[in-house]
Structure 1
Amino acid sequence: MKSYWLWILLNVVVWPFTIGYINLPINQLTAGILGVALYFLLFFIVPLIEKKPIILFVLLGTNTSIATAILFPYNGEFNPFLVLIISLLIAEGFYRLPLRYSLANGTIGAFGLGITVLNSNLGFFIQISIAIYILFLFIALIHYKKTKVQLMDVEARYEAILGEYRDVKRRAVSEEELARQEERVLIAHEIHDSVGHKLTALIMQLEMFRLQINEDHKKRVQSLKELANESLNETRRAVKSLKANDTGGLPGVLRLIRKLELENMMHIHFSVKYGAFSAPLTGEQSFVIYRSVQEALTNIMKHSDTKEAEITFEAPGGSIFRFEIRNPASGTDGYQEGFGLSQMRQRLEKHNGSLKVYQTEGHFIVSGYIKIK
C-alpha cells in the first residue's frame, strides 16, 4: 500500500506543473481539467484491481491515452512534462504487471509519446534524445523486472526453507518432549510396580517376624519396619512427583499448539467441551492429536489468506476424543488430499479413529476422532 501512495504523490507533484505549462483557451482548459480528473479517478481504482493484470493493463493504457490526448501539441508546442507522465505510467506497469503486460503497456506509452513528439515543433536532435531516453528507460525497467522476479524467487525459497526448518525443529522438540513424558510415566509405573510392591511385602514380613520373636528383638525389628515404611512413603512421593510433571493429555497438546501459534504468528481460538480436559489420553494419543492439528494448521499457513483458525476439542460420552479445525475460506472449490492429510488419516485409523475433510461456502474444516482406551 505504501508504493501506491508513492505513485499518487509523484503524479500529484507532476500534474500541477503540467497543467500550468499548458496555454489553452478557457473552453479547452475545462476539457483538460476534466481529463485530469478522469485520470486520477482511474488511478484510485488501482488497489481494487491490483491482482487482476488484464484490467490493470487496460486502466494504465487508458490513462496513457488520456494524458496523450490532453497534452497533444494541437498548436505545435510540445509539453515536456508529458515525458515524465508517460515515464511514470510505463514504470508503474513494470512495477505492478507481469513482464509481457509491462512490455505491452510500455509500447503503448512509447507510441503515444512518439506521436506527440512527431507532431510538435521540436528539433530533430531533441526528438532523437527523447527516443534514446525511452530506449534506456525500457532497458533499465526490464533489468529491474528480471531482478525483482529473481529476488521474489529467492525470498520464496528462503521462506520455504525457513518454514521447513521451523517445522523440523518444532517436530524434534515435540517428539523429544513427548518421549520424556512417556519415559517419566514408564519410570513411575516401574517404581510403583516393583519397588513399591517389594517394600510393601517387606513391611508385611517384618510385621510377621516381629510377632514371632521375643521382646528383646522386637524394638530392633520395629525400627526396621519404620525404616521400610519411610522408604515406601518416599517411593510414593517420587511416583506422584513424576506423574505431576507429566504434561500429556489435552493440557500438553494445548501447550504445544500455543508454541506453534507464537512461532507462526497465527490467531487460534480454542473451545474445549464435554470433558475434553479430563479425557484419559495416553502419550501416544496426545502425540497423534497434536500432529493432526499441526498438519491442519500447516495447510492453513500454506493455502489460506487469513492466518486464523478455530479449534474445538470434546470427549462426548467419554468414549471418543474429537477435534475440529475450522478456517475461514472463500469459495467452494474442491481440494486435493496431499501427503500430510493422508498421513494424518492413517495415524488416526491406527487408534480406531477417522478423519473428515470438507469445504463449505465460508470455511475449510478438518475434523477427526480417536477412541479413548
Structure 2
Amino acid sequence: MVSFYIRFLLLILIWAFILYSSRQSTDGLLLLFCAISLSIYFVIPIFKKKLIIISLLLIITILYAFLLDEQLILFFLLQIVLYCFESAFYLQPRYYRSLLFGVNAAIFIFFLLSVSISIDLTAALFILTILLSLILSYLNTYYFNLTDQTQLFEQLLDEYRKLKRQSIKNEEAVRMQERTRIAREMHDSVGHKLTALSMQLEILLMKEKNDLFQSMKEIVNESLEETRKAVRALKSDDVEGISSVIQLIRKLESESHLRVHFTTKQGVLSLPLSNQNSIVLYRVLQESLTNAMKYGHSREIFVTLGTSPLGHLNFEIKNTYELNKPLHEGFGLKNMRQRVEEAGGKLEIFQLDHTFIIQGTLP
C-alpha cells in the first residue's frame, strides 16, 4: 500500500492547483468544499462503515465538478481517482465494484451534460475512466486476496504452534510416565533384591567374620545406594546441562517462527557441567535467542557448542543483522556478560559482515 504521506501530499497538491487556478474567482463555496473534503478524508479510518463515508466523499467531489468551473474538471477527476485508489484498500471487492460503477455512471452523465467538452474528448475520457476502474478493481481484488491469504497463513501458523506445543507437552508427559515406571521397577525389583542380599550377607558376617563376605556386603551397599540415586534422578523432572539447552531450543521453536541450526561438536554432550554453569549457559542461550527474534533480519539462528583444549565449553550464537549502527550493549547483554564472568568464563559480543555474533567460554 502506498504510504499515507505520499497520498496526502498528492491530495494537497491537487487542492493547491485548484485554489491557484481559480484564485481570480475564489469564493466561500470552493473553500467550504475544500474544508469538507479534507475533513471527511481524515476521518475515513475511524469509521466502521467505510462505504458510506467514502461514497459521501465521492458525491461531494462530483458535485464540485457540476457546480464549479469546468476548466477545473481535470483536477476533480484526479481527486476522484485518488479517492477511489484510497477506498481500494478499505472496501471488500463486491462493494468496491458497486462504488466504481456509480462513479463511472456519474462521470459519464457529467460528460454528456458538459457543453465545453467535445464528443471525441468525452469518449476518450470515458474510456480512460473505464480502464482506470478495471485497474483499480484488479488492485482491490488482489489486495484483499493477499490479505485473506495472510490471515489464513497466520491462523495456520498459530494452529501449528499450538499443536507443536501440545506435542511437546504430550511427549514430556509420556517420558515422565516411562521414567516413573522404570524408577518403580528398579525400586521394587533391583532395590528389594539388593536389600535382601545385603541382609543375608549381614547374617553370614554375624555367624562368621570373613573378609570376602565383608567386601561383598560393601559392594552390595554401594550398588544399593547407586540404585537409589538413579531412582531419585528418574523421578526428578529437573533438566540440567546440555539437555536444558536442547529443551530451550525446542520450546522457542515451538512458540515462535524460528529455525535454529544447533550444532554440537565432539565431546560436548559428555561435559560434566556444574549446576551453576548449566544455569548460566541456559540464560545466555535464552537471552541470545530472544535478541535474535527481536532484532534479527531473518528467522535463522546458528548455535554451536564445542570444547576447548582445556576441556572448557565454547558456545557461539550467530544471526543476520541488517542495521548498520554501532553496537550498544543494553541491560540484557550486560547482564549476560556479568553472568558468564561470575561463573569464571569469558564473553565476546561483536558484529561482522551484517552478522551479530556472541561467543563465550565456560569452565
Superposition RMSD in Å: 3.1
1:22 aligned partner: 22
Question: Is 1:201 the counterpart of 2:196 in the alignment?
Answer: yes
Counterpart of 1:132, as a letter, is: I
1:105 aligned partner: 99
In 2, Cα distance between the equivalents of 1:41 and 1:125? 36
Question: Is 1:222 the counterpart of 2:214 in the alignment?
Answer: yes
Pair 1:246–1:3, CA change in 2 (3 A): same
1:95 aligned partner: 89
Question: Is 1:68 the counterpart of 2:66 in the alignment?
Answer: no
Pair 1:190–1:246, CA change in 2 (3 A): farther
1:63-94 superposed Cα distances (whole Å, 9 cap, x missing partner): 22322333446455343111111111222233
Question: Is 1:188 the counterpart of 2:178 in the alignment?
Answer: no
Question: Is 1:81 the counterpart of 2:79 in the alignment?
Answer: no
Counterpart of 2:108, as a letter, is: G
Would the aligned equivalents of 2:161 and 2:256 in 1 still touch at CA under 8 Å?
no
1:129 aligned partner: 124
Pair 1:148–1:75, CA change in 2 (3 A): closer
1:211 aligned partner: 206
The equivalent position to 1:36 in structure 2, one of 34, 37, 52, is: 34
Counterpart of 2:46, as a letter, is: L
Question: Is 1:241 the counterpart of 2:241 in the alignment?
Answer: no
Counterpart of 2:224, as a letter, is: L
Per the TM alignment, residue 202 of structure 1 is displaced from its structure 2 partner at its CA by 0.9
Would the aligned equivalents of 2:195 and 2:224 in 1 still touch at CA under 8 Å?
yes
Would the aligned equivalents of 2:88 and 2:140 in 1 still touch at CA under 8 Å?
yes
Question: TM (normalized to structure 1)?
Answer: 0.58
Would the aligned equivalents of 1:18 and 1:81 in 2 still touch at CA under 8 Å?
yes
Would the aligned equivalents of 1:86 and 1:113 in 2 still touch at CA under 8 Å?
no
In 1, Cα distance between the equivalents of 2:157 and 2:127? 44
Would the aligned equivalents of 2:64 and 2:76 in 1 still touch at CA under 8 Å?
no
Question: TM (normalized to structure 2)?
Answer: 0.60
Per the TM alignment, residue 46 of structure 1 is displaced from its structure 2 partner at its CA by 1.0
Give percent identity, aligned residues only: 33
1:169 aligned partner: 164
Pair 1:75–1:176, CA change in 2 (3 A): closer
Pair 1:104–1:120, CA change in 2 (3 A): farther
In 2, Cα distance between the equivalents of 1:77 and 1:143? 31
Structure 1: segments with no counterpart, 5+ residues: 248-254, 266-373
In 1, Cα distance between the equivalents of 2:14 and 2:128? 18
Pair 1:4–1:47, CA change in 2 (3 A): farther
In 2, Cα distance between the equivalents of 1:85 and 1:120? 22
Would the aligned equivalents of 1:184 and 1:242 in 2 still touch at CA under 8 Å?
yes
Bigger drift between 113-122 and 179-188 goes to 113-122
Would the aligned equivalents of 1:61 and 1:105 in 2 still touch at CA under 8 Å?
yes
In 2, Cα distance between the equivalents of 1:75 and 1:3? 31
Paired positions, count? 248
In 2, Cα distance between the equivalents of 1:14 and 1:2? 17
The equivalent position to 2:140 in structure 1, one of 145, 149, 153, is: 145
The equivalent position to 2:224 in structure 1, one of 221, 226, 232, is: 232
In 1, Cα distance between the equivalents of 2:219 and 2:228? 14
Per the TM alignment, residue 40 of structure 1 is displaced from its structure 2 partner at its CA by 1.0
Structure 2: segments with no counterpart, 5+ residues: 240-246, 258-363
Pair 1:75–1:6, CA change in 2 (3 A): closer
Pair 1:25–1:14, CA change in 2 (3 A): closer
1:284 aligned partner: none
Per the TM alignment, residue 124 of structure 1 is displaced from its structure 2 partner at its CA by 2.4
Counterpart of 2:39, as a letter, is: L
Pair 1:16–1:261, CA change in 2 (3 A): farther
Per the TM alignment, residue 61 of structure 1 is displaced from its structure 2 partner at its CA by 2.1
Pair 1:39–1:212, CA change in 2 (3 A): same
Counterpart of 1:35, as a letter, is: F
Query: Which secondary structure does the structure 2 equivalent of 1:79 belong to?
Result: helix
Query: Which secondary structure does the structure 2 equivalent of 1:9 belong to?
Result: helix
